[in-house]
Structure 1
Amino acid sequence: MRVLAALSGGVDSAVAAARAVDAGHDVVGVHMALSRSRAEFRTGSRGCCSIEDAGDARRAADVLGIPYYVWDLSERFEETVVADFLSEYQAGRTPNPCVRCNEHIKFEALMDKALALGFDAVCTGHYAQVRIAADGTRSLHRSADLAKDQSYVLAVMGRERLARSMFPLGDVRTKDEVRGEAATRGLSVSAKPDSYDICFVADGDTRGFLRDRLGERPGPVVDVEGRVVGEHQGAYGFTVGQRKGLGLARPADDGRPRYVVDVSAATNTVVVGPAELLTVRAVHGQDAVWLADDGLDGRPFDCHAQLRAHGAPVPAIVTRTGGPGVRVEVPAGVRGVAAGQSVVLYDEDRVLGQATITGTDR
């Protein structure tokens, strides 16, 4: 097959591309330039898509003996991922930009261009597995290395794009195995630190980034009785479940810690309360994307739900609602669920589908 390998400049994508070459595919490497000021993007091990990363990707392609190109997707990235990030926080929700990047950039813009150029598949260094049944049906599964599993942020791709995706690192047991393989292959990125946090927030100060882009909007922090207990400089800087950085001038009457239990963009108000108010029993989601047919007949079905990128899956009962919606009941309850995040549904390690959280029931 003709395979387009997305080379981020990190060790994972380099080894994934190497494995695609070993499998006998005709591989071409592409680095996605996502920042309008790439020279400023990497701070220590944070960030990605900098000039440094483009150079590392080129050197990896040279070692592998494959053609290498840079595709400028910075405008698309700004108009989709960054714009969505800002608008979601401004609306009082907490987005996951990695999900949006996979949806709009890696498995839409990149894949659409690859297919238009005659490639059969796109290969990335994500930690997840694609399994093919006897009838040719493909399914998405968790990585063998559960600590690195990225199926949560990949669930948004849908069936058509899954059919054109390759994740050669899905069977890897540890990141050390990947680094060792990279060193053996002579790839200079073998010891390169992982990028982490939000790639376009180079210094890791999300609240500062939002303040610079959205401006200060002072407003009240209130308790559940409506009493003002503090002041904020922008409700967009808070998320449900947050405890640190609240700046409360008035302690709780019982002396217990308080958490953000609601963020109202309409009134520019942050509501704080006791920990028990964070527990929800049901989650509502919209814009559902399905990779399996479970519940297609409209009847509720049992599965496990993951509500944060690094959260633990919990037993759930799922019902498809009108349109692309779902209701996910969590009988045991789950804490700190924020609107804007993804709820991803699993049958053991198989991804069934995902939806964007729009609300919860306590």
Structure 2
Amino acid sequence: MSPVSFDLSQPLSKRRIVVAMSGGVDSSVVAALAARSGAETIGVTLQLYDHGEAVGRAGACCAGRDIRDARAVCDGLGIAHYVFDHASSFREQVIEDFADEYLAGRTPIPCVKCNMGPKFTDLFALARDLGADCLATGHYVRRVEGEGGAELHRALDPARDQSYFLFATTQDQLDYLRFPLGGLPKARVREIAAEMGLGVAAKPDSQDICFVPDGNYADVVRKVRPGADDGGEIVDEDGQVLGRHRGIIHYTVGQRRGLDIGGGHDPLYVVGLDAAAKRIVVGPKTALAVAAARLTGINWLGGDFSGPLTAKVRSLAKPVPARLDGDRLVFDQPEYGVAPGQAAVLYAGDRVLGGGWIAATERAGTGVKEDRAQFV
């Protein structure tokens, strides 16, 4: 399958494609490719959270400047562009959930929650209301037609792969989605943007969560939930008080920096967060070794999970060999830094089988399950 194909069986001149546009180079190239295919193309932007204008920072995907960039691209391509205000649902489903997860001692992934809610659910409804044959996005993943239907695969460029953030995509959504960029490196996408004369060809990528200015997520949590950064005790695994912390929202499992514990200790890491007691539990690196994790909210996209598979437990982690036993993900070798609130995404080769949310972990060598978010 061509990496820029929309894979629609009928002539594209008789098709309608809705493109989810953030104002960045990736979605702009998708819109340009769709328009060049001969299909009727409509760009749609969801106005979710405008931190860009609030802090004068470019690059936030929901900022007013990005909406203007998306509109300018559509004007240049001669296609329709619509903006829909979904700020209320985004705040409830993504931002408030983000704050509450940190308050509960978990490490959230707002980009997955956004894909599960406003981006895919809401955009799907809008695209279907517009009579579109598919919804195209600039995500770096591949949709492959297999024997049993559409499959989700990793991008060919591992440095750009975004499959971890799309594990919760349903089969119905996958049938309707198209990902034209999944077979291209980012450098080529920028070349295409320049060749097509798109004004965003050299626009920098956004590096942060769109609603978090300058990467300071604690500021957002404080604004949503005042008092969220109340301090508390730092204790070892025996309960001995070693120091004080400035609020559990500043810490996550596996973290070493920022503990501000006096000398005389071997390197210590956050191994658990007791949200109820506002207590951080620290220990040596060996205490981070996890043999298994219990998953909730498992989404399955099909395929054989009885054979060899790999699991990715953080967005930047490498997939590691594992097996799934019911809701229990068992690692072949101890895995480190497994944090409740994060996702475990399962692969068979490059194919995404599905995944779930990490609810609890089992320390290597103990056989005892521990909910790290409620570690006592």
Q: What's the counterpart of residue 123 of structure 2?
A: 110
Q: Which residue of 1 aligns with 2:224?
A: 213
Report SS of the residue matched to 2:158: coil
Paired residue for 1:270? 280
Match runs of 1:229-248 below 5 Å: 229-248=242-261
Structure 1, residues 220-268: CA drift from partner, whole Å, max 9, x if none? 11111211112123212210001111122x33x5x32111000011111
* Residues 248-301 of structure 1: CA deviation (Å, up to 9, x unaligned): 2x33x5x32111000011111101111111110101100011111434xxxx54
Query: Would you say the 8 A contact 1:41–1:200 is kept in 2?
Result: no
Aligned to 2:328: 327
Residues 221 and 269 in structure 1, CA contact (< 8 A), matched pair in contact too:
yes
Amino acid at match of 2:32: A
| 1:285 aligned residue | 295
Unaligned 5+ runs, structure 1: 321-325
Summarize the Cα distance change of 1:42–1:145 in structure 2 as closer, same or farther, 3 Å threshold.
farther
Within the alignment, does 1:302 sit opposite 2:316 as a pair? Answer: no
Contact 2:24–2:200 under 8 Å retained in 1: yes
Unaligned runs of 5+ in 2: 1-14, 364-376
Between the aligned partners of 1:133 and 1:74, the Cα distance in structure 2 is: 37
**Paired AA for residue 359 in structure 2:** T
Matches within 5 A, 1:336-355: 336-355=337-356
Distance, in Å, in 2 between the alignment partners of 1:127 and 1:61 is 21
**Aligned residue for 2:12?**
none
**Structure 1: distance between partners of 2:143 and 2:57:** 33
For 1:226 and 1:335, the matched residues in 2 are separated by 22
Q: Kindly, what percent of the aligned residue pairs are identical? A: 43
Partner of 1:144: 156
Residue 53 of structure 1, aligned match among 66, 74, 81: 66
Give the match for residue 8 of structure 1.
22
Contact 1:220 1:268 (8 Å CA) reproduced = yes
Counterpart-to-counterpart distance in 2, 1:265 and 1:175: 41
- Could you report, residue by residue, the CA deviation over 1:19-41 in whole angstroms, capped at 9, with x for unpaired residues? 22233322100111111566226
Matched, 1:166 2:184: no
> Cα RMSD over matched residues?
1.5
Partner of 1:323: none
- Distance between the aligned counterparts of 2:55 and 2:34, measured in 1? 29
TM-score of the aligned structures, taking structure 1 as reference length: 0.92
* Distance (whole Å) between structure 1 residues aligned to residue 159 and residue 111 of structure 2: 17
Match of 1:26 among 36, 40, 54: 40
Task: Describe the shift of the 1:73–1:38 C-alpha distance in structure 2 as closer, same or farther (beyond 3 A).
Answer: farther
Whether the aligned pair in 2 keeps the contact of 1:158 and 1:289 (CA below 8 Å) is yes
Aligned mates of 1:182, 1:313 — CA distance in 2: 32
The 3 A distance-change label for structure 1 pair 10 and 54 is same
Answer with 331-340 or 113-122: which moved more.
113-122
| Residues in 2 aligned to 1:100 and 1:360: alpha-carbon distance in whole angstroms | 22
In 2: Cα distance, 1:257 partner to 1:139 partner? 44
Contact 1:41 1:49 (8 Å CA) reproduced: no
Matched, 1:79 2:92: yes
Give the whole-Å Cα distance in 1 for the aligned partners of 2:221 and 2:75. 39
User: AA paired with 2:319?
Assistant: P
**Could you tell me how far 1:209 is from its partner in structure 2?**
2.6
| Kept after mapping to 2: 8 A contact 1:302/1:318 | no
Q: Alignment partner for residue 318 of structure 2, among 303, 312, 319?
A: 312
Alignment partner of 1:122 is 2:135 = yes
Answering whether residue 112 of structure 2 is matched by residue 99 of structure 1, we say: yes
Q: Distance in 2 between matches of 1:190 and 1:222?
A: 50
1:68 aligns with 2:69: no
Q: Is the 8 A contact 1:28 1:67 kept in 2?
A: yes
